[in-house]
Amino acid sequence: MPNMHQTTLSQDHSIGSDAAVLCEITDVVRQVLEDRTIELTSDTEVGDMAGWDSMNHIAILVEAECRFDVVFDLADLDAVPTVGDLVRLIQTKRSAGEQALD
């Protein structure tokens, strides 16, 4: 698996739009699944993606933690049946992190 730990949105402490988070998650999934043609929407179901198995699910979440400077709980692993759910989870955790800094 390629070294994917890029810092992009995590360097910017603003929450950003859902569209920006979706774009970044799309990049993460493309890298983890090694398929630059993948296009995701908020309605994309995780289980419907070819190659998005349990191991790649963990890799995607770990990379998302790095890029967005968030930490997922064990319960979060199954809490994202769609890409939109993942975007909302990231936004919630980033927002909570911002509030903790205030």
CATH of the domain at 91: 1.10.1200.10
Q: In this model, does residue 1 exceed pLDDT 70?
A: no
Token pair 């419907």 is found at: 48
Q: For residue 82, which phi and psi values (nearest 5 degrees)?
A: -125, 165
Specify if 13 maps to a domain.
Answer: yes
Write out pLDDT tens, residues 67-100.
999 999 999 888 899 999 999 999 999 998 766 6
Segments forming the whole domain that contains residue 19 = 9-97
Specify if 2 maps to a domain.
Answer: no
Q: How far apart are the two ends of the chain, measured CA to CA in Å? A: 37
- 18 HSE (CA, 13 A, CB side): 12
Specify if 42 maps to a domain.
Answer: yes
8 A C-beta contact, residue 82 and residue 45: yes
The whole-model pTM stands at 0.81
Q: Angle formed by the axes of helices 54-68 and 83-101, to 10°?
A: 30
Write out pLDDT tens, residues 10-54.
444 445 899 999 999 999 999 999 999 999 999 999 988 999 999
The Cα–Cα gap between 6 and 10 comes to: 9
Specify if 56 maps to a domain.
Answer: yes
Domain count, the chain: 1
Q: In this model, does residue 101 exceed pLDDT 70?
A: no
Specify if 102 maps to a domain.
Answer: no
Specify if 50 maps to a domain.
Answer: yes
In the structure, what pLDDT confidence band is assigned to residue 3 with cuts at 50, 70 and 90?
low
Specify if 14 maps to a domain.
Answer: yes
Q: How far is CA 91 from the centre of its chain?
A: 10
